[in-house]
Amino acid sequence: MTPLSDLLETEPYVATAGVELFATTLSSQAIPVDTVDWRPPIPGTETALAHVMADERRAPANAEALARMLASTAELVDVRPASAALGLEPGEFLHAGPPVDWDHASGPLRGALVGAMIFEGLAGTPEEAESRLSSGTGVSLMPCHDRGAVGPMAGVVSPSMWVFELRDEANDGTAWCSLNEGLGKVLRYGAYSPDVIDRLRWMSDVLGPLLRMAVRRRGRVDIKGIVAQMVQMGDEGHNRNRAGTLMLLRELLPDLIDSGEPSAKVAEVVRFVSGNDHFFLNLVMPAGKLQTGAATGIEGSSLVTVMARNGTDFGIQVAGCGRRWFTAPANTPDGLFLGSYGPQDANPDIGDSAICETMGIGGFAMASAPAIVRFVGGTVPDALRTSRLMYEITAGENPAYALPILEFRGAPTGIDVTLVARTGILPQINTGMAGRVAGTGQVGAGLVQPPAECFTAALDALAELAGDGQVPPLRSSG
């Protein structure tokens, strides 16, 4: 050890942690600085962390969970009505995020449910639809995730809507997602005007059947392979899916042309898909559901399998806790607005599309899609910094989704509740913004993070499951 009297005779060595201002100031004076990337844990999590970290099951359970995620496949095998694929009966509606009832539903979710009631012929007017939904007469609501499905934004799926069906043969899983309507005034953003309903009817009468015919003629489509290519072509898989959409169309176009359907119908479908850069999002999402869902139910695992929002609450699920929801009030995205809309018009975070970040792309892969900042806000350095930061809270990397700008490093995969608690770093999500008033539609796009309370609640639950006398008792909740 250097005596204190010698400090002035030797070169100074400085290590800093926390606020960057001190390190920046020293560096500007040509003083060498080693910056230690250390953050205090989320306040109040210390005892629960001790329980979970002491659980001998945790390390092997997380290794198994990550292995299952990385081994997952995702192939488009069919396109079917939700009544056939998901067993939905008249009056049954799926929605995005954790469970919610009509009284607590957000404006966009209410708008989407009203539109679905009219689309299904269960109500003739918005007022009649609202009355039936409010009373619950002949109507039931359930999260998409409870049926193995995912839904963007409001996420409403009704029996007559058509869905993509994807398979993961490695883990024997199946997942579904509705067909993408495009942007602007659409049902998933809570709009229900006559043109919205007409588009849904066309999708059920023309788009769905032609896509089914093409998929069945062609055979399985490797969606995971397309996602792998698109993240190397400037897409991040959540708010930018341009390359993915065109690659899907390339796969299906020959069989659409050879289907024997009238050329006008085929042209209509091709024009709709090619003109909708978000069309492939609804295939990325069930691919993500298959990947993360493969880890569900692995005892002792602290990896996140679901992040989802219903416009009121944000909810997560964790592998070691099965399908139990951990919820907290959803935050409102911060970003760029369309036209004259502003922050006062935006609803809190909504949609199952955060499954993209749960699988390691979307906001986690912004480094590979610098153009996304023009849609959701921020800067290119922000995008690079965000992707690097997400490695701090994940258990591994997915080589299937290599990020070129990061020397083809695999996408950060397997959000670990313990790492979130230990670092205080929250997952970064980029998302669309729905208008808070039912019927408005999309008002913008931006960036948002989950509430920390979801992760601390999950950590407490894991700690309760881990307790076997090897660690101190949990703090009193009283």
Q: Over pLDDT 70: what percentage of the chain?
A: 90
pLDDT at 276: 95
> 380 pLDDT band (50/70/90 cuts)?
confident
* H helices present in 136-207, as ranges: 194-202
pLDDT at 38: 60
* H helices present in 258-331, as ranges: 263-274, 281-293
Pairing between β-strand 140-143 and β-strand 92-95 as defined by DSSP bridges:
parallel
> 378 pLDDT band (50/70/90 cuts)?
confident
CB 268 within 8 A of CB 206: yes
Task: Return the higher-pLDDT residue of 170 and 468.
Answer: 170
Task: Return the higher-pLDDT residue of 374 and 317.
Answer: 317
pLDDT at 473: 44
pLDDT for 265-284, tens place per residue?
999 999 999 999 999 999 99
The sheet carrying 350-351 orders its strands as: 326-329, 313-318, 304-310, 350-351
pLDDT at 10: 60
**pLDDT at residue 12 greater than cutoff 90:** no
pLDDT for 173-231, tens place per residue?
999 999 999 988 999 999 999 999 999 999 999 999 999 999 999 999 999 999 999 99
Whole-prediction pTM: 0.90
Domains and CATH numbers, the chain: 4-36 (no CATH), 46-69+294-466 (3.90.1700.10), 71-286 (3.90.1710.10)
pLDDT for 281-326, tens place per residue?
999 999 999 999 999 999 999 999 999 999 999 999 999 999 999 9
Distance of CA 350 to the CA centre of its chain: 10
Average pLDDT, the chain: 92
**pLDDT at residue 41 greater than cutoff 70:** yes
Task: Return the higher-pLDDT residue of 467 and 443.
Answer: 443
Q: Tell me what the mean pLDDT of segment 357-369 comes to.
A: 95
pLDDT at 307: 98
Q: What is the radius of gyration, based on Cα positions, of the chain?
A: 24
